[in-house]
Amino acid sequence: MKGNSARLEAAVQDLYDRTLAGLNGDLTRLVYLSSTRDYNTGEYQHAGLADRFGPDTAQHALALCHEAAFRDLLVLNLAHFIGQVAAYIESTGADRERVLDAWRHLQAYRVLVPRTCDQLSADFFASNVRIALEALRTAQRAVLAH
Amino acid sequence: MNSVIFVTIGIVLLTLLWARGRRHGSAFVRSRPVTDASQYLAQLPPSSLLGRCFSEEDVRFVASLGSQAVLRLLLQERRRLALEWLRLTRHEARRLFGLHVRTVRFVADLRPATEFKLLVQAGGFLFTSEVLEVLVRWYGPFRAHAYVQSIQGLGSVLAGLGGGIAQSIPPAAASGIAPAHGE
């Protein structure tokens, strides 16, 4: 039991050191972690981590990091949250207006929620993203108008 | 004089609660013992979310952006989420109270004092949630510091009462069940 827990801890640390530490901001980490999840089965896929620690431990480690990244975002105040959304959009390298538009219409942020999350927290997160998108769009328009 | 009014209000609320409970559950269901242990798992929504819904810091920040549309969106969204929190809390507390009533029918050593305490808690819960709903519905036009503080204070009281109802589940029935999700 203790061995399993130590192994899981090592897998989480490995995931953080090799991948997550290099990503800018919690939202970028959240997008990365949810992208490792198969949309049909809900299972996480990470070949490198599974090779090093076994598929079950890798699965558990990814789920834990996903939940932690989501929790960290949920407790942020709106100013910091909007900063995270702006940093993520910046990191994509795509045109800001286009990303804002796509996120608003496709609501891709809904797939970022971990499986264990309760409905109200998921709703709160989606609501914060909607407000952030509107705030960034307003700021973008003001910049363009000048 | 005051105490007579409070006792009358309490009795009326408890009668309403009892009448509502009767409407919701069929006689068949009420007459059967609860055998599914998972039903005892309390799933109250996180109370910290209600506090986040009325964050004055967020309102101040969005107001500083100078966009009425974004400020309106924030207030609408936070009011909607707070009402949803209330709805879920009320639904869960009602379910737990009903479950408790069904469970104690089959308990041999019924403790009247404990049952009375729970009944008072349920009445208080119902009253607080109705008052809170009215206050939340007016949030937006009214958002002064004292107003928001009252909402947050009542929210804490309600979460506490909901937690009290959740803890009223007989320990024997709830043993071996995961802890409540709500904080």
Alpha-carbon torsion, ordered A89, A135, B85, B79, to 10 deg: -170
CA distance B30 to B60: 50
> DSSP secondary-structure letter at B1?
-
Amino acid at B122: A
Q: How long a stretch of residues is chain A?
A: 146
pLDDT digits (tens, 9 = 90+) for B37-61: 667 777 788 888 888 899 999 999 9
Encode pLDDT of A37-56 as tens digits. 998 999 999 999 999 999 99
Contacts of B26 (CB under 8 A, 6+ apart): none
pLDDT for residue A144 is more than 60: yes
- The span from the CA of B133 to the CA of B146, in Å, is 17
A101, pLDDT greater than 90: yes
DSSP reduced 3-state for A125: helix
ipTM of the complex: 0.87
Q: Which residues pair with A6 in a beta bridge?
A: none
Question: What was the pLDDT predicted at B165?
Answer: 79
Of chain B, the percentage scoring pLDDT greater than 70 comes to 70
Amino acid identity of residue A97, one-letter, is E
pTM above 0.95, yes or no: no
- Does A135 reach chain B within 8 Å, measured CB to CB? yes
In the DSSP assignment, the letter for residue A7 is H
B46·A130 Cβ contact <8 A: no
* pLDDT tens digits, one per residue of B58-74: 999 999 998 999 999 99
Higher pLDDT, A71 or B122: A71
A-contacting residues of B 62-101, CB under 8 Å? 62, 65, 67, 69-70, 73-74, 77-78, 80-81, 84-85, 88
Token digits of residue B89: 């809390």
Q: Looking at CA atoms only, how far is residue A139 from chain B in angstroms?
A: 8
